Amino acid sequence: MNIKKDTLALRASGLCASFDGIEVISDLTFDVREGELLAILGPSGCGKTTSLRLIAGFELATAGSLTIGGESVIESNNFRPPEKRGVGMVFQDYALFPHMTVLENIEYGLQGIEGQHQMTAQALAMTNLTNFGDRRVHELSGGEQQRVALARAIAPQPKLLLLDEPFSNLDPSLRSRVREELHDIVRQTGITTILVTHDQEEALSIADRVAFMTSGKIVQIGSPEEIYLQPASIDVAVFIGETNVLYGVVSNSSVDTPLGTFAASDNGSIAAVLVRPEHLVLSKIGIPATVTHREYYGHDQILRVQLDDTTLVRVRIDSRTHHLPGDRVMISLSEAPLVLAASG
């Protein structure tokens, strides 16, 4: 199913939430389009799980409104309970009943619903668990348990699927495969999905759009490319991938840094020049530097180099070029850097 650009699956407007009088969600405002996979990305404690719980109806909002599928579920005089929101949720720890079978776990949430056996069979087929129905959950691997949690969430055919850090309990070697499987299932069902994660690779690789959250607010929302290449602030840039940050005072509408002089606004203010390591290259003519460390990753490598004025920068290059600490190199920029106000 394709994303329906004009059909809103969810609209959150000015949602706030507090614990013990301390506001942890402030003015949460965003839309999700039908069929879209939106990732909410942000550092630990920024309010991602609480946002999902507000949407699911497990927490109360102190202000704001929420519509799901065009129907109001939170408004000043209206709170629709979780079971009436048409939302499926996969919890971080899966929250399965370990001694029940896969089938029993899925059917538990379908009691009293007409066609529950067919719904269960469909959910098992979609998650490639058809032959696992009689297995007990505690006998399954982490990846299989995650699929059971997903099957249970999608079995009632919800309008919206909420995934809370769905890969965090998995071994890193399993993660990319399980992520791919989950992405395929979500795509096949066409279900609108909100995924929360603190892993930027996860967000960038599977989301249609990424919402970056910090201190209870969404500070930027956009395609993975927009978020990575045009971060709205230094915080977003640094969280979302490696970045060299160089500061300078703006004068004559430009900022002077050891990597060059770049256009900037607000004469007299401090500007931050952001350069991704992969936007620096080794070249025949360029800025002289000395390699201080080499981090080899197989698919590529990072050289830590010191410019002659002592500034340290990180340069990502292919893994075949061989340089050792102490080697003299020249570096230059392959792309214009992003220049932001240092307070941003």
Applying CB under 6 A, the residues found at the interface with ligand ATP are 19-20, 24, 42, 44-50, 198
CB of 19 to ligand ATP, least distance (A): 3
Q: CB of 47: closest distance to ligand ATP in angstroms?
A: 4
User: Which is nearer to ligand ATP, 92 or 306 (by Cβ)?
Assistant: 92
From the list 160, 198, 157, 195, the residue with the least C-alpha distance to 179 is 195
Residue closer to ligand ATP, measured from CB, 23 or 75? 23
Tokens linked to 201 = 């690779």
Report how far apart, in Å, the C-alpha atoms of 109 and of each of 30, 158, 189 are. Answer: 29, 12, 19
Single out the residue of 30, 2, 23, 47 nearest to residue 164, CA to CA: 47
The torsion angles phi and psi of 328, rounded to 5 degrees, stand at -90, 135
Element (H, E) at 237: helix 234-240
- Sequence-distant (6+) residues with CB within 8 A of 150 are 90, 127, 166, 182, 185
Q: How far is the CB of 66 from ligand ATP (least distance, A)?
A: 16
Choose between 45 and 115: whose C-beta lies nearer to ligand ATP: 45
Instruction: Please identify, using beta-carbon distances, which residue of 34 and 165 lies nearer to ligand ATP.
Output: 165
> For residues 142 and 129, what is the distance between their CA atoms, to the nearest angstrom?
14
* CB nearer ligand ATP, residue 196 or residue 317: 196
- CB of residue 165 vs ligand ATP: minimum separation in angstroms? 7
Shortest distance, position 72 Cβ to ligand ATP, whole Å: 23
